[in-house]
């Protein structure tokens, strides 16, 4: 029976990390009221963008089941992630995979490269014999333009960063997930190697029924393959929607500042005006009651200090969380 709802649905996801020892009661709200929906019937690459401290990596960890939410729900195929057991849990694990920023970190230095591919083959029972397993692994490596003979028997330190990340993507080909959480997949790679990785991700979306949550701080790279974007700031969504709309027609003051600061390789499209830098560290531990961007916002109004702006619908596929548009 075909499932026609949302593959992944996230509602009001919030994660608060307590700080300090037994006595201190301080905490940091890494993610607040985050919503997301990835449909079953089509493929999307959604960019989850934000600078450091925006909470994007925390969201990745929550969606992958590595940490538990403080409140809110993550539903996989309409079932609460925390309550998945047995076959349903196995299915989730099989269908939701990840690629991380540092491919070297993701590899166990004790084992050869074959280990990271054989793991899922064995656990997900993708092959019925050693021979078949080897064949699957080799095919996956060929999909990412790597020569199995040159890779499978090597140790992680013997390969380059680009090759290691390709092996991570070969693992994705192997597991054929429905959703890939890609956390800064190209940031640690040389600029000249990034295009190839982006091509592989695009290929996975177009030809292998895979949706991708592309998490990054670098919008220029994401724009190459993604058509949807969610922009986070200090744990809250500021603006989201069609990528091109959000870039060319930004509404939120933070997003305007962010987008205008992205360097364009064209001296005739230079930055206009200047940005203002912070003079002192603002303590993130202060509980901010109103809008999180309030103290840096050039268009702040009194209400911005008092109430959190709700995420408002502007147009077709364009939402912004800002009192200016209430």
Partner 1 sequence: MGRDLLTQLLFGTTLSIRIGFMAGIVAFTIAVLVALIGGYYGGTLDSVLNVVTEVFITIPSLAILILVAALVGRVDIPMMSLILAVFGWAWPCKVMRAQILSLKERGFIRLAKLSGYHGTEIVIREIMPNMLPFLGAYFAVVVSAAMIAEAGLELIGLGPQYTITLGIMLNWAMVHAAFTRGLTNWWIPPVFVLIWIFLSLFIISMGLDEVGNPRLKVKG
Partner 2 sequence: MESALLQAQNLKVYYRTQSDPVRAVDGVSFAVKAKEIVGLAGESGCGKSTLAVGLLKLVSPPAYIEGGKVLYRGKDLFTMNNEELRKIRWKHIALLPQSAMNALNPVMKVHDQIKDAMEAHDGKDPGEDLGDHITTLLKSVALSSRVSRAHATELSGGMRQRAIISMAMALKPELIIADEPTSALDVVVQRGVLELLVDLKDKSGSSLLLVSHDIAILSEVVDRLAIMYAGKMVEIQDVYDIFDDPLHPYTRGLIASVPSLEKGGIPRSIPGLPPDLKRPPPGCRFHPRCPNASAICTKEDPILKEIEPGKFVACHASA
Kindly state whether residue 274 participates in binding partner 2, applying the rule CB under 8 A: yes
- How far, CA to CA in Å, does 36 sit from each of 165, 230, 307, 311? 27, 9, 23, 13
Instruction: Out of 54, 97, 221, 226, point to the residue binding partner 1 (CB under 8 A).
Output: 97
How are beta strands 71-76 and 45-50 bridged, if at all?
unpaired
- Separation of alpha carbons 92 and 289, rounded Å: 36
Number of residues interacting with partner 1: please give it, by CB under 8 A.
29
Q: How many CB atoms lie within 10 A of CB 265?
A: 6
The stretch among 96-104, 231-239, 241-249, 305-313 that binds partner 1 (CB under 8 A) is 96-104
Q: Which of 38, 56, 81, 100 binds partner 1 (CB under 8 A)?
A: 100
Cross-strand bridge partners of residue 18: 27
Number of residues near partner 2 (by CB under 8 A): 43
By CB under 8 A, name the one of 7, 38, 46, 98 that touches partner 1. 98
Residues 6+ apart with CB under 8 A from 163: 146, 151
Angstrom distances, CA of residue 266 to CA of 89, 255, 269, 271, 283: 49, 21, 5, 11, 37
Which listed option, partner 2, partner 1, none, makes contact with residue 116 (CB within 5 to 8 Å by class)?
partner 1
Using CB under 8 A as the binding rule, the residues of this chain from 212 to 231 that contact partner 2 are 217, 219-221, 223-225
Distance (Å, rounded) from C-alpha 140 to C-alpha 134?
A: 10
Closest CB to partner 1 among 64 and 234?
64
Which tokens hold the place of 241?
Answer: 């929607």
Asked if 293 and 211 count as a contact pair (C-beta separation under 8 A), the reply is no
Helix (H/G/I), strand (E/B), else coil: 61: helix
CA distance 200 to 178: 15
Of 16, 196, 303, 308, the residue at the interface with partner 2 (CB under 8 A) is: 196
Q: Binding segment for partner 1 among 7-15, 41-49, 108-116, 195-203 (CB under 8 A)?
A: 108-116
Subset of residues 47 to 106 that bind partner 2, contact rule: CB under 8 A: 51-52
Mask: binding to partner 2, 244-263, rule CB under 8 A, as x and -?
Answer: x--x---------xxx-xxx
Residue placing its CB nearer to partner 2 in the complex, 138 or 221: 221
172/120 Cα distance (integer angstroms): 10
Check residue 124 for interaction with partner 1 (CB under 8 A): yes
Can you tell me the distance from the alpha carbon of 183 to that of 168, in angstroms, rounded to the nearest whole number? 12
Which residue in the set 2, 25, 131, 192 belongs to the binding site for partner 2 (CB under 8 A)?
A: 192
Binding site for partner 1 (CB under 8 A): 64-66, 90, 93-94, 96-98, 100, 102, 105-112, 116, 119-120, 123-124, 154-155, 157-158, 171
Binding site for partner 2 (CB under 8 A): 51-52, 190-196, 198-199, 202, 217, 219-221, 223-225, 244, 247, 257-259, 261-271, 274-281
């Amino acid at each position: 029976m075909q499932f026609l709802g949302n593959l992944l649905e996230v509602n009001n996801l919030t994660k608060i990390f307590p700080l300090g020892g037994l006595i201190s009661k301080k905490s940091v709200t890494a993610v607040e009221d985050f919503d997301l929906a990835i449909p079953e019937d089509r493929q999307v690459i959604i960019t989850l963008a934000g600078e450091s401290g925006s909470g994007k990596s925390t969201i990745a960890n929550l969606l992958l089941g590595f940490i538990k939410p403080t409140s809110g729900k993550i539903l996989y195929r309409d079932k609460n992630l925390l309550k998945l057991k047995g076959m349903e849990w196995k299915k989730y694990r099989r269908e939701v995979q990840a690629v991380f920023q540092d491919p070297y970190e993701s590899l166990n230095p004790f084992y050869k490269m074959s280990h990271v591919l054989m793991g899922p083959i064995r656990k997900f029972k993708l092959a019925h014999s050693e021979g078949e397993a080897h064949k699957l692994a080799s095919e996956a490596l060929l999909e990412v333009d790597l020569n199995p003979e040159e890779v499978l028997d090597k140790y992680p330190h013997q390969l380059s960063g680009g090759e290691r990340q390709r092996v991570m993507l070969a693992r994705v080909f192997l597991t054929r997930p429905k959703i890939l959480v890609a956390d800064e997949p190209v940031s640690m790679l040389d600029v000249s190697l990034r295009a190839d990785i982006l091509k592989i991700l695009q290929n996975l979306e177009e030809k292998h029924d895979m949706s991708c949550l592309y998490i990054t701080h670098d919008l220029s790279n994401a724009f190459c393959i993604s058509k949807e974007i969610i922009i986070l700031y200090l744990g809250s969504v500021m603006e989201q929607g069609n990528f091109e709309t959000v870039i060319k027609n930004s509404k939120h003051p933070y997003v305007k500042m962010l987008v205008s600061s992205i360097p364009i390789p064209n001296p005739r499209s230079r930055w206009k005006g200047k940005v203002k830098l912070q003079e002192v560290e603002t303590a993130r531990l202060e509980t901010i009651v109103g809008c999180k961007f309030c103290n840096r916002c050039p268009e702040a109004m009194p209400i911005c200090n008092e109430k959190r702006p709700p995420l408002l619908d502007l147009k077709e596929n364009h939402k912004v969380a800002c009192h200016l548009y209430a």
